[in-house]
Structure 1
Amino acid sequence: MDIEFERLENEAVRDTIRLYLERVEQLYTPIKQWLTTENLVIVSSRVSTIERQAIYKVTQLTVKTPEEETLAEIKATSSKVIVGEGLIEIEGWFGKETLVYMTDGGPQIMKPSRNDRSKQVRVQMYKGIDIDGWYWIENSRRRRMHLVDQALFLELITFVSDYEF
């Protein structure tokens, strides 16, 4: 995969960004199918993403009705986030939702054991991360994540655009 860099401060970041963009494209493929099935129009464009160590081009998807009304923009925004390994934003006039790429069960924290408070145990920060993939955080207080599938993705489009399927 050729990456169009406008700035790259650290050569080691190149592989991280390459992997992130491959994961983005792996999600974009089914998204295009799901939206086409719903008779929606997908417009692809190349936009710059600015990160601390690099500026590079990414594919952005704009979701439109057959009447050309824009419902949402799907933007690859960051190859690194605190809780995961990449971020995609879905933004419409009614709101914004984020997808995070999770691996290895997601982030873990250390906390005191229930049985022996002097011992530390490692626990997952979020529930529901069973396989590597793109997840939506339902509610940060409940710590529940959902793997993105067609039904969830269409619901997220409704959340950000108020468009009813």
Structure 2
Amino acid sequence: MLDVRFSSALKVLLFLAVAAETDSPVVSSAQLAEQLDANPSLVRKLLVPLVREGLVTSVKGRAGGTRLARPAEDVTLAEVYRCVVGDKPLWACRPESQHVCLVTAHMNDYFTRLTEQAEQAVLGAFTDQTLADGLRELRRLEGNTVQEGCAPGSR
């Protein structure tokens, strides 16, 4: 099963970054869920580590919701990745089998090292990229226009 936590969290944070640009005070989990085409309770679960790590601020109450805790320029994709993925490796090795040959005796150690190298490469690629960079790239892809239905709360 593919893990979509990072892409989902990134999408949520990019919606919040757009909302911050338009001076929207907060965006509700229902509004975010509509944009993600997901259940609001799933979005709230996704927001928990983002709030815990200080990437998002949560405002409780009837007019509550979430907003970026810092400017989009100050949030790196590496932070987002570490926040939602945690210590879970990119890939898991198949369960160990009986050690009867060169491959079966050392595959787990070998694969663990490969996964660690890939993880470091991913984090290295994300370290210098921010949410603001992501918005610029999305706008470049769109031809520097944001569709009317893209702002949180609209479709």
**TM-score computed with the length of structure 1 as normaliser:** 0.29
Q: Which has the higher strand share?
A: 1
Q: Which has the higher helix share?
A: 2
Determine which structure has more spread, i.e. the larger CA radius of gyration.
Answer: 2
* More relative contact order, 1 or 2 (CA 8 Å, 6+ apart): 2
**TM-score computed with the length of structure 2 as normaliser:** 0.30
